[in-house]
Amino acid sequence: MHKRLTTLFMIIKDTIKEEISLVGKILPLKKNNIFPIKIVKTIEIVIVPNFGEANSHQDNVGIILEEKKILNILSKRYKNVLITEINCEKDLENLVVRKPDLVFSGVKYFFFNNRKIWLNDYLEMFNIPYIASSKIALDNESNKYRAKKLMQKAKIKTADFFITNPGEYLDETLIPIKFPLFIKPVTGGDSRGIDNHSIVLNFESFVAKILDIKIKQNSPSLVETYLSGKEYSVGIFEDSIDGSLRAMPIEIVVKKNINGHRILDFDVKKNDEEKVIPVTDIKIFNKLSKIAKCSFKALGGKSLGRIDIKMNHLGIPHFIEANLMPGLRKGYFYRSCVLNLGMSYEDMIFSIANTGLSSN
């Protein structure tokens, strides 16, 4: 009996030493396994230094990662996981030489030797898989005017719009769309530049808000027909096997402000004052899913993203804007995963990594 047990132990031990290369559907490990079997893949979690306050905004970072937490999660399933901080172009070159199986990063670009190097496009040149989208898609998404033009081209409903700077419209009769209007910066995320004055009902307010955005955000203004209906955000996951898209709609409920309007502005998001609930009406769920998937494709999105949608007064959904590098902490993307798929934070990180590993 003792000899048989010893032989069995040696067989198990030898089996674990074998290299396992598996991307796709991963079966959960049984709790009574003697040894956890890890997939032999190398994943580098790439970050850049932040010399400001913790979690402060950086233009070249799309997703602020909790890198140590992600390291601990991915290390449960994959054999080689490490955190890499890129400080210079040489660090980037060394990353390519190591050729990891996946770069898990929220960095958009680096600025070395007076030029921008977009991380995902750089990795693509060397056939190194990554998460999120390419520069072209990120450019499409970040410029709200360009995003809406692409929606029009794809026959996706979006509010009428135009862009302007202070002093361009000197008379109310020259404004191409009627009041009420909604005004926000052409670029920038997290509802920066959106506040109680973003809904404008007259020419005086129109002039004031456009000037305010130019001064505070250094951006032209995107002026849209105001949509008065409910607001939604739809998380998008690309399937790791067949590339199909899964939509995960959620409704965002905001209290009325002092003007009686419901605006998802910068302060509401910052203070986490909004409420997020599941979409239970199947007809609305399907409408939101369809427009979100079409919008994601029109922008050239890859792997994951988030599409923001708002209803007009008739309950017809319209594309508002997109985020192809959505936050992975406790933001709308994570909450869309929880409310639609019952995913834990850990499940979400595994799914993102799995899709990235399957992309090549």
Provide the strand spans (E) within 175-316: 181-185, 199-200, 221-225, 231-238, 245-253, 275-278, 304-311
Q: Are 350 and 73 in contact (CB under 8 A)?
A: yes
Q: In whole angstroms, what is the distance from residue 231 CA to residue 160 CA?
A: 17
- Residues forming beta bridges with residue 78, ordered by sequence position: 39
Taking residues 205-209, what's their average pLDDT? 95
pLDDT for 21 beyond 60: no
User: In this predicted structure, what is the pLDDT of residue 19?
Assistant: 41
Per-residue pLDDT band for 29 (boundaries 50, 70, 90) equals very low
Q: Are 214 and 222 in contact (CB under 8 A)?
A: no
Main-chain dihedrals φ then ψ at residue 297, nearest 5 degrees: -65, -40
**Mean pLDDT, all residues of the chain:** 87
Q: Which helix (H) or strand (E) holds 111?
A: strand 109-112
Give one DSSP letter per residue of 40-91, joined into a string. EEEEEEEE----SSTT---TTBSS---HHHHHHHHTTTEEEEEEEE--SHHH
Per-residue pLDDT band for 257 (boundaries 50, 70, 90) equals confident
Cα dihedral 14→16→20→22 (10° resolution): 140
User: In this predicted structure, what is the pLDDT of residue 191?
Assistant: 67
Main-chain dihedrals φ then ψ at residue 57, nearest 5 degrees: -65, 135
User: In this predicted structure, what is the pLDDT of residue 33?
Assistant: 46
The position carrying tokens 């040696």 is 10
User: In this predicted structure, what is the pLDDT of residue 187?
Assistant: 86
User: In this predicted structure, what is the pLDDT of residue 9?
Assistant: 42
Q: In whole angstroms, what is the distance from residue 143 CA to residue 283 CA?
A: 31
Per-residue pLDDT band for 34 (boundaries 50, 70, 90) equals very low
127: left (phi over 0), alpha (psi -120 to 50) or beta: left
Global confidence as pTM:
0.85
Give the percent of the chain with pLDDT over 90. 72
Taking residues 262-271, what's their average pLDDT? 65
Give one DSSP letter per residue of 241-281, joined into a string. TT--EEEEEEEEE----TTS-----HHHHHTT--EEEE---
pLDDT for 57 beyond 80: no
User: In this predicted structure, what is the pLDDT of residue 41?
Assistant: 96
Question: Nearest-5° angle of CA 156, CA 158, CA 161?
Answer: 135
Amino acid at 177: I
pLDDT for 317 beyond 60: yes
pLDDT for 239 beyond 90: no
Taking residues 223-249, what's their average pLDDT? 92
Tokens for 217, please give them.
Answer: 């955000």
User: In this predicted structure, what is the pLDDT of residue 16?
Assistant: 42
Lowest mean pLDDT among 139-153, 164-178, 252-266: 252-266
Dump pLDDT digits (tens) for 108-155.
999 998 999 999 999 999 999 999 999 999 999 999 999 999 999 999
User: In this predicted structure, what is the pLDDT of residue 268?
Assistant: 58
User: In this predicted structure, what is the pLDDT of residue 161?
Assistant: 96
| Domains of the chain and CATH, by start | 18-131 (3.40.50), 138-157+227-357 (3.30.470.20), 161-225 (3.30.1490)
Taking residues 285-305, what's their average pLDDT? 97
User: In this predicted structure, what is the pLDDT of residue 15?
Assistant: 44
Q: Which helix (H) or strand (E) holds 104?
A: strand 102-105
pLDDT for 25 beyond 50: no
pLDDT for 248 beyond 60: yes
Give the percent of the chain with pLDDT over 70. 85
Of 351, 304, 358, 359, the C-alpha closest to 23 is 358
Query: How far from 131 is each of 85, 233, 240, 260, CA to CA, in Å?
Result: 17, 20, 12, 41
Per-residue pLDDT band for 27 (boundaries 50, 70, 90) equals very low
pLDDT for 160 beyond 70: yes
pLDDT for 6 beyond 90: no
Taking residues 335-342, what's their average pLDDT? 96
- Residues forming beta bridges with residue 112, ordered by sequence position: 115
Lowest mean pLDDT among 32-41, 55-64, 178-187, 278-287: 32-41
Return all residues near 211 (Cβ < 8 A) that are at least 6 apart: 166
Q: Are 283 and 253 in contact (CB under 8 A)?
A: no
